[in-house]
Amino acid sequence: MLEGLEPVDPVLFGSVAAALFTASLCLTALRPSLVVRWPRAVLALLLAVSCAAVLVLVRPQPLGLRLAIDPSTEPLLPVGDPSIDAYRAAVLDFGDDEVFVIAMETDDVFTSENLGALRRVS
């Protein structure tokens, strides 16, 4: 349903959300009687906003979240950086750019048993 949507510009989204939040906060502070007089309308509005947020975040087919984490380093490189080509070539030569750190707690890492364990893990 929402698969064809483009990513939202975070600055624009933040600006619009801040403006709406500020307007609703000012309206509530200046006219609290409106919230008290129409509590069902306020709750219905909050429910509609919550449902809209769920529709954007949840994928119905297959059921899951639309959020994804990109653990690679490439999104962190500046746009137009000349080192991007070297980075992509390195990924093609050596595989992915996922980095794993293995920690081993021991009194003496240089024993034959511990070095063998490190070799087996790596």
Q: What is the pLDDT of residues 66-109, one digit of tens each?
A: 777 777 777 888 888 888 888 888 888 887 777 677 788 888 88
Site of tokens 């511990």 = 114
Which pair of structure tokens corresponds to residue 13? 């989204």
Residue 57 and residue 66 in contact, taking contact as beta carbons nearer than 8 Å = yes
Q: Which residues contact 60 (CB under 8 A, 6 or more apart)?
A: 1
**Amino acid at site 55:** L
C-alpha 24: how far from chain center: 27
* pLDDT > 70? residue 7: no
pTM of the model: 0.45
Residue 61 DSSP label: T
Alpha-carbon span 97 to 100, nearest angstrom: 10
What local confidence, expressed as pLDDT, does residue 44 receive? 94
Alpha-carbon span 35 to 87, nearest angstrom: 56
pLDDT band at 5; cut points 50, 70, 90: low
Which pair of structure tokens corresponds to residue 73? 């380093």
Which pair of structure tokens corresponds to residue 91? 């990924």
pLDDT band at 1; cut points 50, 70, 90: very low
